[in-house]
Structure 1
Amino acid sequence: MLEISGITKSFGTRRVLNDVTFSVAPGKLTGFVGGNGAGKTTTMRMILGLLSSDAGTVTFDGAPLTAADRRRFGYMPEERGLYPKMKVADQLVYLARLHGLSAAHAKSNAEGLLESLDLSERANDPIEDLSLGNQQRAQIAAALVHEPTMLILDEPFSGLDPIAVDTVVGVLGDYAARGVPVLFSSHQLDIVERLCDDLVIIASGEIRADGPREQLRSEHSTNRYELVFTGDAGWLRETPGVTVLDFDGGYALFDVDDDQTAQQVLQRAVAEGAVTTFTPQHPSLAQIFKEVIS
């Protein structure tokens, strides 16, 4: 468990992080989202010890993070940092060896990651000869090759096409399944919503929402329902406490003032036809994001 508690940071007179507190649980994919300048990268650099905080603590499994702990972390910065003229496989083996793996172990890990990330055919190509998407996958492999105990990935899906995104999602899911905590930032909210177990939203250096994805969706949901039945739902327009948002014969999307009104709508629909669907509509991550940062 990685725990960030009360982290505060200023650059001169400008406060960039203010009492930032959240956790990254073992085996969980935690999405870290916010606009440009919100504080995501600064927070990640503090976790890694690349920046010092003015206040607050970062602990791993209940103890303050040490340099030895951080060496076992896997970090992928937003800026690409691999040696451009070095072959992909050689780069991965070299990095694994720097982390103390034997030559055979490093080679095995590199080959496995190249296969998992669909880079085996480019193993002997220099990094600079790869497409931007393949360079991104190589950068992800570099963060994983030493079997990290924690993953911190800054914009790992940047520049990836949909097929490559699915490939990377599968690899990260495998690491989480082994119990590794995974913290990743992304501007691509649809990917975050599909992938993450937990979600942290930051804006202006402050945490605006934090928790399991479905819990946040439930907390920010409105009394919005979708009705599909064999009758005609035109009567909804005249029902007190109901605001119809979309309507087409036996289909209606509507808001209600309270749960009692929703039950009254359901009872009438059942009385007038066979109900196929009557379900509450939870907000998307994009909707939650806009709500909490406004």
Structure 2
Amino acid sequence: MIHQVFDLDYWSQVFPVDRFKDLFPDYPYVNTPPYVNEIAIDWEIVSPFHLVMNEHWKHQQSIHRQGPSVPIDIFVWGYGEPDKREVTKMGGLPYFPAARPWPQSDSNKPLEFFAQICFKDSLDICGPLPGDILVIFMNPERFEDEIFEEGCTAFHFEWVSIGDFPLVSYHETPGFDPLFLPCYGVIHRTNEFLDEPMAGTKIGGNSSWIQYEVSLPGRFLFQMNSITPELSLPYPFVNTPFINFFPYPEPKGKTSREANSPWEYIGHPMYWGDLGQIYFFLDDNKLSWELQSG
């Protein structure tokens, strides 16, 4: 395996469903009738807690229903740079050959590394592809203003196959932005119901549209979810027990929560729109995509 594998048995002991309310009484439970002190399940999968609860809910559903399902690889996230450069990640350093020219915009400015998706562990799901890793670059000149417009060209794609060659370093990465929080994906193989696709960063399955279904050419390949870790519980990231809000004085012009946000100190997680998702389709080696947010 290229990726670190999510250990569902271990994390189910960290977040035991039968004792969850006793262990975590301060969690923001749902108290909207007819629900009283219930755990919400309508979130995107980012943290270990999300995946444990989703798998438990899905198992409960499978007892009472029959319906088609398909295998997917879905990711929860670790904080920082991974041990292997080739794994799925957002921000940080890409798996990109040092000898390959760094992509530039039409105005000859270097693009920024956005994310990469490694399909090496998922070929039985997605089939043969032009490379092992899809490296995604972002054009900051277009991303903010055009990201929701039809035909937006904010992204540039490069396929890379895993090999033995020098990779770019921070000094050789002209589009490196240290303000973005680097995160890496920890993979989990599971099944999803075709009529209830799982929301999160995943390979295969069906796209979990936030707003409405969009017809794009080709087949659904993968989707990327905003990095929205569960900060009210332990392990918002698989390798990070807690991220605290820091008790520093409130800077002028910022709210208390903004002033004490951990992202002000460790870097900002990747997100777009109102915590949206980006859906990618592949048609004869050509990628098309759609972004939706709440």
Q: Which structure's residues are more often helix, by fraction?
A: 1
Give the TM-score normalised by the residue count of structure 1: 0.30
Give the TM-score normalised by the residue count of structure 2: 0.30
